[in-house]
Amino acid sequence: MIGEVPKIIRRIADHRFFKSRIKFQTSRGQDKNAVSKLLLIEFLGKFTDTKLTQLNRFVDEGLKPENADIERAAGRVEDVLNMMSRVFLERDNLLSSQGPITLFYWVIRNVQRHRIRQVREFLVEFERIRRSNRELAKVNPQKTGSAILLYGSQNRSVDDQLSLERRYEFLMHNFASFLNRTRKVAAN
């Protein structure tokens, strides 16, 4: 692809987050695909569908001279990736697939700076609960948390705007609960 957007995507895909934190393969450009999604939502300032059609349209829009804001969006993406590099570990199991990158990006982008370190602890606990809930659903579906199962079902449409919005809201609600629990424990 021609133009500035593909160059920017390649530059961001070279960021240390994509070089050392992700655990998924990048041999078929999965890192560049993830970067293009981040760049698109950052450029728009909100969630949108991040399917191939929208990504291609975004690259085409980047060819227009009036879209100089793409470089500004790229700078913001790099800033958030710097924070993500501090949150996630090398070859982090939480990043074993491309799917949650957009969602985790938006969470970290919008969390208060002094809460950034707690995001990983929350995500580890959240994923542990999701895993336990899936196992419980196999043996005793009546005892499972329906809200967390709904989150999992929304996870099947990782490129859908509504799915991204719902999962983000669910994560942020649960992150707030996590922070309240940890504050209470610290106070005792």
Ordered mean pLDDT values, 10 residues apiece, the chain (188 residues): 81 96 92 95 94 86 65 95 96 93 96 91 91 76 62 71 91 92 78
pLDDT of residue 130: 82
Q: At 42, list the tokens.
A: 């950052």
pTM (global) more than 0.85: yes
pLDDT of residue 129: 85
Q: Are 106 and 47 in contact (CB under 8 A)?
A: yes
How far, in Å, CA of 6 to CA of 164, rounded?
24
pLDDT of residue 143: 65
Neighbouring CB atoms inside 10 A of 121's CB total 12
Q: Are 24 and 95 in contact (CB under 8 A)?
A: yes
pLDDT of residue 131: 82
How far, in Å, CA of 33 to CA of 94, rounded?
18
pLDDT of residue 171: 92
pLDDT of residue 86: 95
pLDDT of residue 123: 95
Q: Which amino acid is at 150?
A: L
pLDDT of residue 133: 76
